[in-house]
Amino acid sequence: MARWGSQAHPAMQVPRPSVREAASMYGTAVAVFLVILVAALQGSVPAESPFPYHIPLDPEGTLELSWNVSYVQETVHFQLLVRDFKAGVLFGMSDRGELENADLVVLWTNGDRAYFGDAWSDPSGQIHLDSQQDYQLLQARRTPEGLCLLFKRPFSTCDPRDYLIEDGTVHLVYGILEQPFPSLEAINTSVLQTGLQRVQLLKPNISTPTLPSDMLTMEIRAPDVLVPGQETTYWCYISELPDGFARHHIVMYEPIVTKGNEALVHHMEVFQCAAEFESVPRFSGPCDSKMKPDRLNYCRHVLAAWALGAKAFYYPEEAGLAFGGPGSSRFLRLEVHYHNPLKIQGRHDSSGIRLYYTATLRRFNAGIMELGLVYTPVMAVPPQEIAFVLTGYCTDKCTQMALPPSGIHIFASQLHTHLTGRKVVTVLARDGREREIVNRDDHYSPHFQEIRMLKKVVSVHPGDVLITSCTYNTGDRTLATVGGFGILEEMCVNYVHYYPQTQLELCKSAVDTGFLQKYFHLVNRFNSEEVCTCPQASVPDQFASVPWNSFNRNVLKALYGFAPISMHCNKSSAVRFQGEWSLQPLPEIISKLEEPAPRCPASWGQSSGGPTMVSIGGGKG
């Protein structure tokens, strides 16, 4: 296929200009287009690039996606670079990263011409042209790196075949066409080289804070790790702050990814170890290694977290995260998640996180508070559930006692579950009414966790309630999934980043154990099968003995919805604030937030016609 250099246009015959005229027209068009693009995205584009966000889509780096977000136009502009272009490419989004029932855009060739069209796949993976063309091709051109496609799509199209682009995780899907197809309908995703990538598309439009003049940097990096030739590896490495390292404020951090490993390094976190340990053994190896020292399990205080597609993280100008000095551990644990689906051998990596810090302490210390459910087996999800919801509370009694009169301000959040988590949301309620969402991810994946800046700072006042709900899918499990620390157990947590720091480090709940025992007693009475849900057994064993018929499922769900709770209103020392925290009533919520209705674009240039034909000058195709 020959050189790609012309603007996309509907199929039509036009007079062919001379080479000099074509070059002039092309240069002018590109210049005008970039001016229009930057103007359209004004306010959401950093000055250095009209496409500030980048991710490799496939493990080999054949496909690279760049994008930007215009909240004014409610539109995402995409730039897809295709290296080693063959006969076509598909890109799109789906609920969990499946290629069936996906919202797609496809560039394909029939052996003579190339076409670009908005499409969708049915449950069998067959691709169909969408009757409403909402992806708009703006440009297709050859660059020294490969074929570059520039296109856009609104957040919401009100097309039932289209994916609603919203806050939270987006599962991107892709496919590579290695041979021409006579028509779009001749393509089935099952015969393509396909994959998925997770990303937060709708990055918040936040201005970069001013950084201090005395800022220093520190790199926490993996020590030339030989990446194992297996699909998933979590690598742990212990590093140490210098002797006598005084208290500083972290004001920013950013990823350091070894060149060539952009598609291998999935996410990274830096944890500080517990201050009560005077020493932590040196270690560099897989986090699940039997050789890993036990003390690494006490390195849980998050200092930094990065995931694929994220850029630098900035603290608000008035706050910084304290580390170093008295009462702070000198030991840090770096955890790197390597995603190696091609099982590449012999790859070395020294990726990590660069901390930017200052000795000039800011006005406020930033803090991290845990919201959600206590890590306890009393909160459980029955097997074969598709969307079972568990909810944890930070009650008005706790916030009234623990927060300062002026309240706190949440500016970032990291949601967390284990393998069966599918949705997570935290809502702030005041005077019995839900007021605003702190953070929400309706397409949450436990394989993609990052600290996300909030689009709007959320202020929490004494007497407010924070409600965190997690939705789980245990459709592939035969036993109940109980709460706990194990990867096959479950969690429901929102780590909120806020200022000013208070003594309150954990504000979570769990159902009262006495009421749960009443549930097990009820199961014994109403089930004729031989079950052992007696109090002498452990809670996990009791749940394992429950026959999961519809009655027992519904009663458990009802129990979690009305039974009193045990509140953990804890200081950083793991000691609860003074007061009675057992048998606490559930917060009464008399008014809930309404689900926002998608806004259809008023003046979107969608087309109901066929695909766009992209001019080709020759070559493959």
Please confirm, yes or no, whether 26 is among the known catalytic residues.
no
Handedness of CA 240, 243, 244, 248 (dihedral sign): negative
Length of the chain in residues, anyone?
621
Residue 315: which residues within 8 A CB-CB, separation 6 or more? Answer: 209, 249, 250, 251, 252, 321, 362, 366, 411
Distance of CA 380 to the CA centre of its chain: 24
Residue-wise DSSP of 451-518: -EEEEEEEEE-TT-EEEEEEEE--TT-SS-EEBSSSTTSB--EEEEEEES--SEEEEEEEE-HHHHHH
Structure tokens at 402: 């623990």
What is the spatial distance between Cα 151 and Cα 145, in angstroms, rounded to a whole number? 18
Distance of CA 498 to the CA centre of its chain: 19
Identify which of 247, 271, 371, 416 has the alpha carbon closest to the alpha carbon of residue 320.
247
Give the DSSP H/E element, type plus range, for residue 523. Answer: helix 513-526
Could you give the 3-state DSSP secondary structure of residue 257? coil
Identify which of 140, 153, 88, 99 has the alpha carbon closest to the alpha carbon of residue 607.
153
**Cβ atoms of 154 and 605 closer than 8 Å:** no
Q: How many CB atoms lie within 10 A of CB 377?
A: 21
Pairing state between β 504-511 and 367-373? parallel
Identify which of 69, 71, 79 has the alpha carbon closest to the alpha carbon of residue 33.
79
**Which of 339, 416, 447, 461 is labelled catalytic?**
416
Tell me the CA end-to-end span of the chain in Å, nearest whole number. 5
Give the DSSP H/E element, type plus range, for residue 552. Answer: helix 550-562
**Which of 26, 234, 447, 461 is labelled catalytic?**
234
Identify which of 56, 35, 33 has the alpha carbon closest to the alpha carbon of residue 150.
33
**Cβ atoms of 99 and 126 closer than 8 Å:** no
What is the spatial distance between Cα 507 and Cα 493, in angstroms, rounded to a whole number? 10
Phi-psi map region of 540: left, alpha, beta (phi>0 left; psi -120 to 50 alpha): alpha
Amino acid (1-letter code) at residue 24: S
Helices 513-526 & 550-562 angle (0-180, nearest 10): 160
What is the spatial distance between Cα 108 and Cα 61, in angstroms, rounded to a whole number? 20
What is the spatial distance between Cα 271 and Cα 329, in angstroms, rounded to a whole number? 10
Please confirm, yes or no, whether 234 is among the known catalytic residues.
yes
Residue 11: which residues within 8 A CB-CB, separation 6 or more? Answer: 113, 610, 612, 613
C-alpha distances in Å from residue 29, one per residue of 24, 136, 296: 8, 17, 57
Residue 359: which residues within 8 A CB-CB, separation 6 or more? Answer: 214, 216, 246, 248
Active site residues: 234, 416
